Amino acid sequence: MNRIVCLMFALAAVISCRQPENARPALDISNMDLSVDPGEDFYRYATGGWMDSHPLTPEYARYGTFNELIDNNEKQIRQLFENLSESSPVPGSEAQKINDLYSMGLDSARLSSEGAAPLKKGLDEIAAISDSRSLAEVVARMHSVAEFPFFAGYVSADMVNSDANVLYISQSGLGMGDRDYYLDTANAGIKDAYRQYLARIIGLAGMENPDTVAAEVLEVEDAIAEISWSAVELRDVKKSYNPISAKDLKAAYPAFDFGAWFRELGIEEPDKIIVGQPSYLKGLDSLFTAFSQEQLKKYLAAQHISEFCTVLGEDFYDAYFDFFSRTMAGAKEKKPRWKRSLDVASSLLPEAVGKLYVETYFPQSSKDAMLVMVSNIRTALAEHIDSLKWMSDSTKTFAKEKLDAIVVKVGYPDTWKDYSSLIINPTLTYMENVRNIRAWNMADNFSRLQKPVDKTEWLMSPQTVNAYYNPATNEICFPAAILQPPFFNPEADDAVNYGAIGVVISHEMTHGFDDQGRHFDKNGNMTDWWKPEDEEAFRKMTDVLVAQFDSVTVLPGLKANGALCLGENIADQGGLRVAYTALQNSFGGERPADIDGFTAEQRFYLSYANIWAMNITDQEKARLTRLDVHSLGENRVNVTLRNLQTFFDAFGIEAGDAMYRPEEERVIIW
């Protein structure tokens, strides 16, 4: 499967440039809290002013510099959409499709009048299930529109043969996303709120005895949680690669009619399928016989209703918001309808919207400067590989070959996706159109099964504030939307740019050598190219990094999860070290003058901290700690920096300071 790894959401690029005269300040000193000693709490010192001036508004469970950029992008895209509505788009054009989908999402009166009617077809199909074959057929139809009860099926690059596409089957089907919400008694309150949510939407859909049905649905989900792998276990790429033929799949898991599933999806039974979690499928096989067909149908109905709550009337959306945003994350107020409608159009028609976005907002100069910066970072990472004392020369040779082979994608795809066969029909309901687009996207995915991997494809849209590394293609990708201040600033000095987007570039490159990415070679194939003694040295260092984060108290009774966030924490540290080297290389032997009383090295670390400025609710802290492979922003700064001598030197941090970590307790990987 494509295991793309990102920075927060992720991260992205930068530019190497000198600050011209009369340029705006690259670092806003008012974002800092100068009353705090940087040696005591660097995160607060660097970002406290920003946090004080950006208190959480009711719409958000967390709000940081990422969100500022997202807000700005949403306003820009909204203007593009409004321009479309005024220009009478040509029928069948991408503009017409975007405009119609966006307009339907805005029509709250129509959505309210339609009520639960758009759900009827799907619920009727579920109600008509009468045997194992029809159950598998309905599950297949749900999978064909990206609903994934019980398990997920999709096509992606083969992890051991990155030129070929293969079918993957992996665990899925938990409404709350992670098994610990069901199994950990500390989450009993959230679990009860989820049961109430299920009853609420089941009642809104017109089903009888919603409280009883909700309880039965939760019994099924509890059983699914019991057999599910943990979030940490899911990060093990080797254990997640289990090839099997369709014939053997049907024999190994007979309780589910995989033959009917393949036929309904129109997939010729493949000779090779990758099962992500065999023990899960074995448990699922028992589950299909342990529960009555009627109870399984109730589970499917609840999954179907919940999947589309956000594109139905406001009563459905209110139920969804009250649980997932208010209870689980701590938000207090819904997003305005225009933002919700915009998000749907942008996510379902990503490259159609992206084309509009880059034509208006992304200059070629940003792409050109970005490529220069990437080259500088690549050089610095090669220097780091050469200097490693724990890695053998033979493994270093392979590592540098992989580094040289990394493909760089900046801004937008060279070839845009063709949406000409997709139909948006305003006479259908909003949900029906959303469902049809999802069906179009899944059909496109399944159609790749007999085709070679398209390595030019983008896995993020240009308007996404994010970035990623994909080990299957050994590529780093930086969408246009993140190449803006505070991440990318053509008016800033080098120190600020290397500390922000420069760290992002090297973060993404370092993902190629983290605990997951290191298993893939320069061509994107999972293979052992490390010497055993190098692997052992690497593991010992990563164990130290895991322990450092495990020791952090997020909330009373809740610690950070160093194993879950290991890949991102490796990339954060590597990103900082490599970008710092690239900054030093940029000086060319001539030190730059201080700016605003701060040295270049200080501005580098202040810039890094600034991109993680964030206010966040306790509920969201708890949710992200359980689910997210990224550490919380405060820990990405304070915990990571405590390993770096160059940081201590920049701010005069010494033994006895809270930010100081003794040398024997530090760990340096890349």
CA distances to 70, 115, 337 from 106, rounded to whole Å, are 20, 15, 6
- The H or E element containing residue 303 is helix 293-307
- Tokens representing 550 are 């495990």
Catalytic annotation, pick one of 475, 568, 572, 634: 572
User: In degrees to the nearest 10, what's the CA dihedral of 378, 383, 386, 387?
Assistant: -140
Side-chain-side CA neighbours of residue 2 (13 Å): 24
* Annotation says 594 is catalytic: no
Can you tell me the distance from the alpha carbon of 127 to that of 125, in angstroms, rounded to the nearest whole number? 5
Catalytic annotation, pick one of 508, 534, 568, 601: 508
Can you tell me the distance from the alpha carbon of 282 to that of 275, in angstroms, rounded to the nearest whole number? 11
Helices 132-143 and 258-265: crossing angle, nearest 10°? 40
* Annotation says 572 is catalytic: yes
- The H or E element containing residue 275 is strand 273-275
- Tokens representing 214 are 């909700």
- Tokens representing 49 are 């002013």
- The H or E element containing residue 109 is helix 108-114
DSSP per-residue codes, 64-84: EHHHHHHHHHHHHHHHHHHHH
Can you tell me the distance from the alpha carbon of 352 to that of 93, in angstroms, rounded to the nearest whole number? 10
- Decide: 490 and 2 in contact? Cβ < 8 Å: no
- The H or E element containing residue 468 is strand 468-470
> CA 243 from chain center: how many Å?
26
The structure tokens 């992500």 sit at: 276
> CA 92 from chain center: how many Å?
32
- The H or E element containing residue 45 is helix 42-53
- Decide: 276 and 191 in contact? Cβ < 8 Å: no
- Tokens representing 65 are 């510099």
- Decide: 296 and 26 in contact? Cβ < 8 Å: no
Helices 566-586 and 532-550: crossing angle, nearest 10°? 100
Q: What angle do CA 280, 283, 289 make, to 5 degrees?
A: 145
Question: Phi and psi dihedrals of 243, rounded to 5?
Answer: -70, 145
- Tokens representing 453 are 């991997």
- Decide: 295 and 219 in contact? Cβ < 8 Å: yes
SS3 534: helix
DSSP per-residue codes, 420-449: TT----TTS-HHHHHHHHHHHHHHHHHGGG
**DSSP assigned state of 452:** B
Would you name the residues annotated as active-site residues?
Answer: 508, 572
